[in-house]
Amino acid sequence: MTARVLVTDHAWPHLDVETSVLAAADAELVVAGTGDLDELVALAGDVEAILTCFAQVPAQVLDAAPRCRTVARYGVGLDNIDVARATELGMIVSNVVDYCTDEVADHTFMMILALARRLVPLHRDVVAGGWGAEVPGTSRRLRGRTLGLVGLGAIGRAVATRAAVIGMRVVALRRSGAETLGIETVGRLEDLLAVAEVVSLHLPLTADTAGLMDAAAFRAMRPDAWLVNTARGGLVDTDALLAALERGELAGAALDVTDPEPLPAAHPLRSRPDVVLTPHSAFASDGSLAELARRAAKNVVEVLAGRVPASIVNPEVLTSPTLRMSPAATR
Write the CA distances from 122 to 114, 127, 135, 144, integer angstroms.
10, 9, 7, 24
SS3 readout for 115-180: HHCCHHHHHHHHHCCCCCCCCCCCCCCCCCCEEEEECCCHHHHHHHHHHHHCCCEEEEECCCCHHH
User: Is 280 a known active-site residue?
Assistant: yes
Residue 249 falls in the annotated catalytic set: no
Catalytic residue flag (residue 261): yes
Q: Are strands 146-150 and 169-173 parallel, antiparallel or unpaired?
A: parallel
Catalytic residue among 85, 140, 267, 280: 280
Q: Of the listed 88, 184, 261, 291, which one is catalytic?
A: 261
* DSSP codes, 91-105: -EEE---SSSHHHHH
Which one from 232, 249, 295, 302 is the annotated catalytic residue?
A: 232
Beta bridge partners of 31: 7
Phi/psi of residue 66, nearest 5 degrees? -65, -20
Q: What are the residue numbers of the active site?
A: 232, 261, 280
